[in-house]
Amino acid sequence: MTRVASQYYLEGMTQEAVARSLRLSRPKVGRLLDRARMTGIVEITVNVHPAIGLQVEAAFVSEFGLEHALLVNDQTDETAQRASVARAAAVFLKRQLNDGDVVALGMGRNVGAVPDFIGAPQPRAAAFVSAIGGSPLVDSGVNPNEICRRLAEAFRGTAEMLYAPAYAETPDVRDAFIHHDAVRDGLERARTANIALIGIGSARDDSAVVKMGCFSVAEMRRLRDRGAVGDILGSFFDADGHAVVDGIGDRVVAIGRADLEAINCVVAICSERDKGDAILGALRSGMVNVLVTNLSTARTVLELSGRS
């Protein structure tokens, strides 16, 4: 794949010429190029003129009252886009983090990708704390405890885990977790955070919480019927940012909406291009003051909000 990609992208050879050079069929070359992009051997970047990005960032700060809008260039595939967004979030965290800070962490692929881009050890006497429980039905890399551990290693800080599910089966089971000493203390610690890194979930039938088995498709559709477009740490909201309450919040083991609003720096990380409505609701909710996403998604959000 590397040899095919090098000849095609770096040496400017046509696919037909690459096929002759390496004694491969023309369709085989095409398939190898596709795989090279999918596996990250090839990353294609569209470099937008800085003035365009700055204009959109300024519009975001003005429209939603954000402290920062960090917009990266668009990439051609989902994996490369997530990496680009996570890299920008990692740079921001390294610049923001000080000794003594407490960082509350959510779950998901976007937050889970941030540790990959911290780079060389950045010693900080900081604590990384799970702000929501996890799930055994998703990869360990997207669970908050694992994200805590990896960030703590990268910064040589401490990791404070939350050994509980993200969603309990019933409100009574959730209450039992909440009143357990270790879980209660962990959530109280997360509430003392001055920085939070969180993802933005969708309210679609194929959302992460449905795949995790936390909600049924019927429950998610009921939330949508009430106007839900997305969630942050299990707190669902509509496109205007208003809370959507349907008994779901009684099952989540996490810090709440008011807790997030009290944290000085809440960084929402979202690389998915089809989450414009969820991002809009999150920004209007008052829970977020820093957004990291890509340029085209940001422009979609501005269009949805009535600005272009």
Ranked by mean pLDDT, the top range of 5-9, 78-82, 186-190 is 186-190
Q: Model's pTM, two decimal places?
A: 0.80
Q: Are 171 and 98 part of one and the same domain?
A: yes
Q: Is a pLDDT exceeding 90 seen at residue 132?
A: yes
Q: Is 44 among the domain residues?
A: no
Q: Is a pLDDT exceeding 70 seen at residue 253?
A: yes
Q: Is 45 among the domain residues?
A: no
Total domains, the chain: 2
The share of the chain scoring above pLDDT 90, in percent, equals 64
Q: Is 74 among the domain residues?
A: yes
Q: Are 204 and 295 part of one and the same domain?
A: yes
Give the domain range for residue 94: 50-304
Q: Is a pLDDT exceeding 80 seen at residue 43?
A: no
Q: Are 34 and 56 part of one and the same domain?
A: no
Q: Are 14 and 154 part of one and the same domain?
A: no
Q: Are 156 and 13 part of one and the same domain?
A: no
Task: State the Cα angle at 92 between 63 and 186, rounded to 5°.
Answer: 95
Give, for 304, the enclosing helix (H) or strand (E): helix 295-304
CA distance 174 to 98: 34
CATH number for 294: 3.40.50.1360
Of 69, 91, 111, nearest in space to 301 by CA: 69
CA distance 27 to 32: 9
Mean pLDDT of the chain: 89
CA distance 245 to 45: 41
**Terminal Cα distance for the chain, rounded:** 41
